[in-house]
Chains A and B, each alone.
Chain A
Amino acid sequence: MVEQTGMAAGVSERSTAVHKGARYAAAIVGAVAVGSVLAIAADTRWIYLLVYVWFGLVYGLFLQYGRFCMASAVRDLFAVGVPRMAVGVLIAVALYSLTAAAVTVAGFSTFHPNAMGWHVLIGGAIFGFGIIFTGGCASSSLYKTGEGNLGALLVVVSISFSQAVMVAAGGWLNWFVTASWTESAIAKDMPEELAVTETWFDQFLAGHIWDLKSTTVAQMLGMQDPVIAAFVGNALLSAILPTAALLIALYYLAYRKGYLRRKGIQHAGLREDVRGIWSMFTSSRNTAIAGLGLGIFAGLQMWVTGALREHYRIFNFGELLADMGYTEGLSLQYTVFEPGYWYITTQEAQWGGWVLNKLGVENMNNIFFGLDNGLPNPLINAPGFMSIGIILGAAVLALTRREFKWKVPSLETATFAIVGGILMGIGARIAMGCNIGAFFATVTNGDLSGWVFLVGMAAGGYIGVRLFNWWIDWRASRNDELAL
């Protein structure tokens, strides 16, 4: 009887929540729409920035729908033996590579391969270690913020500041700089406004990274035909085949045993294994759908941004901002960071950098902010608005799915969020990108450096999980209430 009353109360609460959540979700979309109309009314050129806002919103919907999380992919595999997210992300890689190839063939890809070197492995490992403690990767921290998770917001803030400090700091960090980096950086003859020999990152970038090779599979194999280069070289060889190999390995290592037991199969032949692999795929369906959706929309965003650049006869949003009278925060080349597609960490570095700059820190005399990305006010930072769009899009779906809940982190969660976020920021800058910029966007465009990042990330993640496991056991042993 008691149980029945509880259930009835639960049902009525649920239907109210749906109603209220859906109303809030509609209010968010309405507010973004009204804001967009007001911005266009003020100056039609804001359409360029609004494209980032609305694509961000769509990315947020997909990320929350698929619970797309690279941290979960690595961590759940090692921590609880669940390959679901790893499988989902890998299928997403394969599908995304096809849309990336189509975008390249159509001629509006804005992708540039990353430099290959030890830094990718080391940065990936630091990043992978950090994500175990934050509970999310760079992109999932944004979508989880949209679910009301304030600990995830703390991760975003932490990544922002640690990157901003990393790219502008000198002092003891210069201990990591070799004499040959300094020499090579000086030889690059950078503009005199930049103090390239003062910060470690500038010397690392100009004196080391710029001297490394970056290439795609199609370029390596000398593929001339653009369609073959994109679909065979960069999609099939760089993304789909390695993905297939990893998926088969995951099936045998983490899925097969449980599957055969559930089905009561004693001796499996090829037919059972094919069915098992398919079952593994379908259990990761939502993440795969999210990956496909993200791929299609990222391609679409490149196309729309390309068309707008042509329309305004610009190469970069910075020129448009200058035309509109906003020159503060532009780089020496009158540019700002604007990748034209799904990207996460660089704009977060700009947020942190902008705040530090306003607090009186001189951080425009380095290559990262001063020459390349600029430090625009967050109110006119287009990719920054894409990140805000991701948070809002995720909030819209979480509210409609009754999954939104304000969650204030405990001291333990907050500490992990800040420390893990700092490590993620450091790792992302060393590796020249996060799990999206250094892995997802690279391997899907023929750049094998992303697989090196994944190896580093998995190794860092494995060590992180071991340490986390130890932490949980230690905590449980000191707490009678837990006694796990």
Chain B
Amino acid sequence: MAVKFEKTGDGSYMLDVCGYVCPQPQMYTKKALQKLGVGDVLTVVFDNPSSGESIISMCESDGNDLFDQNNQNGTSSWKIRKGG
């Protein structure tokens, strides 16, 4: 179990922080988003529900677009488009 951050395609990235608890998922998400260019999409996979709330607020205040929230059996896969 380790944090994985990889490029999955042109302008799309994947961050897998499953198994990690607060504050790591939100901190890794923030750091990963800083690496992305405007318009790039980051898929964050995590399984710590309370981190989701922080990610929502973080996207709101930083102007990133959280456009897809898929939650299944305690694991979440969310897509964020980096804003300008």
Task: Identify the A interface with B (CB < 8 A).
Answer: 10, 13-14, 17, 67, 69, 71-72, 75-76, 79-85, 132, 135-136, 140, 144, 147-149, 151-152, 254-255, 257-259, 261-262, 283, 398, 402-405, 407-410, 413, 465, 468-469, 472, 475-476, 479, 481-484
Contacts and interface: CB of A to CB of B under 8 A. Distances in A.
B19 A255 contact: no
B26 A79 contact: yes
Interface in B48-84: 48-50, 53-54, 57-58, 60-63, 70-75
23 contacts: A10-B70, A13-B73, A17-B72, A75-B23, A76-B54, A79-B26, A80-B23, A81-B58, A81-B61, A84-B53, A132-B23, A140-B50, A149-B48, A152-B21, A262-B60, A283-B60, A402-B74, A403-B71, A404-B74, A405-B75, A479-B3, A481-B4, A481-B6
Interface of B: 1-6, 19-24, 26-28, 30-32, 35, 47-50, 53-54, 57-58, 60-63, 70-75
B73 A405 contact: yes
Contact of B2 (A135, A469, A481): A481
A144 B50 contact: yes
Given A402-B71, A484-B32, A255 B23 contact: no
B7 to A, nearest CB: 10
The 7 A-B residue pairs whose C-beta atoms are closest, nearest first, are A405-B74, A258-B61, A135-B21, A135-B22, A82-B57, A84-B57, A67-B50
A407 B50 CA distance: 14
Given A261-B63, A405-B73, A484-B5, 19 more contacts: A13-B72, A14-B72, A69-B22, A76-B57, A81-B58, A81-B62, A147-B49, A151-B21, A258-B60, A258-B61, A259-B61, A262-B63, A283-B60, A405-B75, A410-B2, A481-B4, A482-B5, A484-B32, A484-B35
A413 B27 contact: no
Interface of A is mostly: helix
Contacts of B49: 67, 147, 398, 403
A135 B47 CA distance: 14
Contacts of B22: 69, 71-72, 75, 135-136
Contacts of B62: 81, 258
A483 B1 CA distance: 16
Of B32, B47, B70, the most chain A CB neighbours within 10 A belong to B47
Of A140, A405, A409, A469, the most chain B CB neighbours within 10 A belong to A405
A413 B19 contact: yes
A76 B24 CA distance: 10
A402 B20 CA distance: 18
Contact of A482 (B3, B20, B47, B60): B3
Nearest to A152: B21
Contacts of B4: 481-482
A66 to B, nearest CB: 10
B17 to A, nearest CB: 11
Given A13-B72, A261-B63, A80 B47 contact: no
